[in-house]
């Protein structure tokens, strides 16, 4: 059987082809699945998608007409898939429920330290042989407070690094993580965490209850000199409200690896086009803001784990098994 994989990055392609070798043929496309590209999948029983593919009602209907019966998503998140429609169309949907939490946690720390120590500005200056230190002053993380919103595997990994820095730990989640408690983390209300933390990092899934978890009121609760990092999902932050606060000169730094309107932008080369998203265009102009294109997961270790899990999901489907990765079971 040949499988069609959408949204495959150049670095991923050889890893995907190697992982499927001996099991199934795989055709890798760099385009993302959407209304325009869905007809390409006609005749493919199994397709493989990434988080920036759009599997809404229209796309799923097109896939069903073309004979697609299984969707293997190469990510933990699945908010891009209309699961009720997939179930109605008798499509099996599986995702990757786990991969290296260190990839995302370490990148979140990379963003935090980059904005804290003004690394991007310093690098640009030295390329121009400008070696002044004005405007590059950061601050020690040791002794300050890290607030972790979402203390699952990634949040725990972030907290362990913060503990290594000698930081006080505050946590917020629906359930306490015993490993974080052992590190000395104190679980508090979201409002208290935002008010007391010098560094705030987001590691919760995007769902209706967490949409704009960091809204205008939450942003106003934060310290004026706080650092905010989001390496989870863009919709957790009300970006328009964030821009409004940044225009007031607030926050030491903001590091964003995700953006709530990133679909159709991230993972693509838009360098020769006018960006119509005024909010994003304004966001990247702030000197204390660093935006990257959803790359926190992008280590060879994590990507291999994601691909291996995707191969297992496909084999489970073809051999009639079911695992914890299945979101919509085979009917």
Looking at the annotation, which residues are catalytic? 233, 262, 294
Token pair for 292: 């990257």
* CB-CB contact of 214 with 147 (8 Å): no
Pairing of strands 168-172, 289-291: unpaired
Contact 17, 304 (CB under 8 A): no
**Phi, psi of 168, deg, nearest 5:** -75, 140
User: Looking at the DSSP assignment, which residues form a beta bridge with residue 149?
Assistant: 172, 202
User: Is 97 in contact with 325 (CB distance < 8 Å)?
Assistant: yes
Instruction: Spell out a b/e string for 209-246, using b for 16 or more CB atoms within 10 Å of the CB, else e.
Output: ebeebbeeebbebbbeebbbbbbbbbbbbbbebbbebb
Q: Determine what percent of the chain falls in helix, strand and coil, rounding each to the nearest 5.
A: 35, 15, 45
Q: What is the DSSP string of 228-275?
A: EEE-S-GGGB-HHHHHHHHHTT--SEEEES--TT-TTTTTS--TTS--
């Amino acid at each position: 059987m040949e499988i069609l994989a959408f949204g495959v990055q150049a670095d991923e392609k050889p890893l995907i082809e190697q992982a499927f070798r001996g099991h199934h043929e795989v055709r890798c496309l760099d385009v993302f699945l959407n209304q325009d590209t869905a007809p390409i999948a006609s005749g493919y029983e199994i397709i493989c998608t990434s988080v920036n593919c759009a599997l809404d009602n229209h796309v799923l209907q097109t896939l069903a007409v073309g004979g697609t019966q299984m969707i293997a998503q190469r990510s933990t998140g699945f908010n891009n898939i209309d699961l009720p429609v997939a179930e109605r169309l008798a499509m099996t949907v599986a995702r990757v429920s786990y991969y290296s939490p260190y990839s995302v946690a370490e990148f979140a720390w990379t963003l935090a330290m980059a904005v804290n120590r003004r690394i991007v500005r310093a690098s640009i200056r030295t390329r121009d042989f400008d070696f002044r230190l004005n405007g590059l002053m950061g601050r020690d993380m040791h002794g300050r407070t890290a607030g972790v919103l979402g203390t699952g595997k990634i949040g725990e990994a972030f907290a362990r690094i913060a503990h290594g820095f000698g930081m006080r730990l505050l946590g917020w989640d629906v359930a306490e993580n015993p490993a974080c408690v052992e590190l000395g983390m104190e679980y508090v209300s979201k409002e208290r965490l935002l008010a007391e933390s010098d560094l705030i990092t987001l590691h919760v899934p995007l769902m209706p209850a967490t949409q704009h978890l960091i809204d205008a009121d939450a942003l106003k609760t934060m310290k004026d000199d706080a650092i905010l990092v989001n390496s989870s999902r863009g919709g957790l932050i009300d970006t328009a409200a964030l821009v409004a606060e940044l225009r007031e000169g607030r926050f030491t730094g903001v590091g964003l690896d995700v953006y709530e309107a990133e679909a159709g932008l991230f993972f693509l080369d838009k360098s020769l086009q006018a960006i119509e998203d005024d909010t994003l265009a304004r966001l990247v102009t702030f000197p204390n803001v660093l935006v990257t294109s959803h790359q926190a997961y992008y280590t060879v270790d994590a990507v291999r784990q994601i691909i291996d899990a995707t191969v297992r999901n496909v084999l489970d489907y073809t051999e009639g098994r079911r695992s914890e990765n299945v979101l919509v079971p085979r009917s």
